[in-house]
């Protein structure tokens, strides 16, 4: 598995396994299947309410801790310097781990400056090998970098062929932040799998549209965390390092960008209020 070196020196597998919207009562089985398929990078969040199940799968796997890269995230209700540290401890307990490889601010809402101060301390203490952000647009990402000692190692954002985030990627590269794409297959909310351009490229390589979409991101230096509960799809999503897209194919995919999210508009005031006031058992 190719790895990416973060600005902390930590190495992160370029392709991971996400558990967003996997029910807690199915998560242990699903993560066990993912680990058996070969995944070593797992991505969860307090707001997914399945950290404990991820932890059980890790414990039962027998895989040495040092071979795994585990990410979780801080939800908005726990933003703030003291509350973030407490929330980190609860996540660590649920996962059954002594440290995290990556801890992210899940959304750019609430007192995320206080959260970042706490996370810088956790990083300094070795409890979080790397810290970062999720869903930060370039303006907030740059502001956070400019006014703090530690720059995020990762910014995890929605990205797929219909929402390509080229400007975001440029800013992150300039600032030494690794981009990770969540929803790299459009989360089933757009006609990605049936698109003729993607289907034609997939046929040319003897691959699936999902594999082409993941390869397109990886080939541009973007980490990906696809989710599936199907073991066959898990293995399929790992088989994306044995081909390269041509320049013409990359240009063809670039033409598909709509510039619009297929999930959530972080600039919509009503949506921001709804998301920022959502509470979970974190």
Active site includes 48? Answer: yes
The CATH code of the domain at 3-276 is 3.20.20.100
Query: Could you tell me the pLDDT band of residue 189, with boundaries at 50, 70 and 90?
Result: low
The catalytic position among 39, 48, 109, 112 is 48
Q: Is the pTM of this model over 0.75?
A: yes
**Is the pLDDT confidence value at 280 over 90?**
no
Which range, of 136-145, 185-194, 204-213, averages the lowest pLDDT? 185-194
How much is the average pLDDT of 204-215? 97
The yes-or-no verdict on residue 282 having pLDDT over 90 is no
pLDDT number for residue 157: 97
Q: How far apart are CA 60 and CA 38, in angstroms?
A: 15
Tell me the pLDDT tens digit for each residue of 17-32.
Answer: 999 999 999 999 999 9
Decide if 167 contacts 134 (C-beta within 8 A): no
Weakest mean pLDDT among 69-78, 131-140, 182-191: 182-191
Cα gap 153→140, rounded to integer Å: 15
Q: Domain spans of the chain?
A: 3-276
Give the residue-averaged pLDDT of 34-48. Answer: 97
């Amino acid at each position: 598995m190719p790895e990416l070196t973060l600005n902390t020196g930590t190495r992160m597998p370029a392709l991971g396994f996400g558990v967003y919207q996997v029910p807690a009562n199915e998560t242990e089985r699903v993560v066990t299947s993912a680990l058996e398929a070969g995944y070593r990078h797992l991505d969860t969040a307090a707001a997914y309410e399945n950290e404990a199940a991820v932890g059980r799968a890790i414990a039962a796997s027998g895989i040495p801790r040092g071979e795994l890269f585990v990410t979780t995230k801080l939800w908005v209700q726990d933003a703030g310097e003291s509350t973030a540290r407490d929330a980190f401890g609860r996540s660590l307990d649920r996962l059954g781990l002594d440290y995290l490889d990556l801890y992210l601010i899940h959304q750019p809402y609430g007192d995320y400056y206080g959260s970042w101060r706490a996370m810088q301390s956790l990083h300094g203490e070795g409890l979080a090998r790397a810290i970062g952000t999720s869903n930060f647009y370039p303006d907030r990402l740059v502001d956070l970098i400019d006014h703090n000692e530690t720059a995020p190692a990762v910014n995890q954002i929605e990205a797929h062929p219909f929402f390509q985030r080229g400007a975001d990627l440029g800013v992150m590269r300039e600032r030494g932040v690794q981009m990770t794409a969540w929803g790299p297959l459009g989360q089933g909310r757009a006609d990605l799998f049936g698109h003729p351009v993607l289907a034609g490229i997939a046929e040319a390589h003897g691959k699936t549209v999902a594999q082409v979409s993941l390869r397109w991101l990886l080939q541009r230096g973007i980490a990906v965390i696809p989710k599936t509960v199907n073991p066959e799809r898990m293995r399929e999503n790992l088989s994306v390092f044995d081909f390269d897209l041509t320049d013409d194919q990359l240009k063809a995919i670039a033409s598909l960008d709509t510039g619009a999210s297929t999930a959530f508009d972080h600039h919509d005031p009503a949506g921001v209020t709804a998301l920022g006031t959502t509470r979970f058992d974190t």
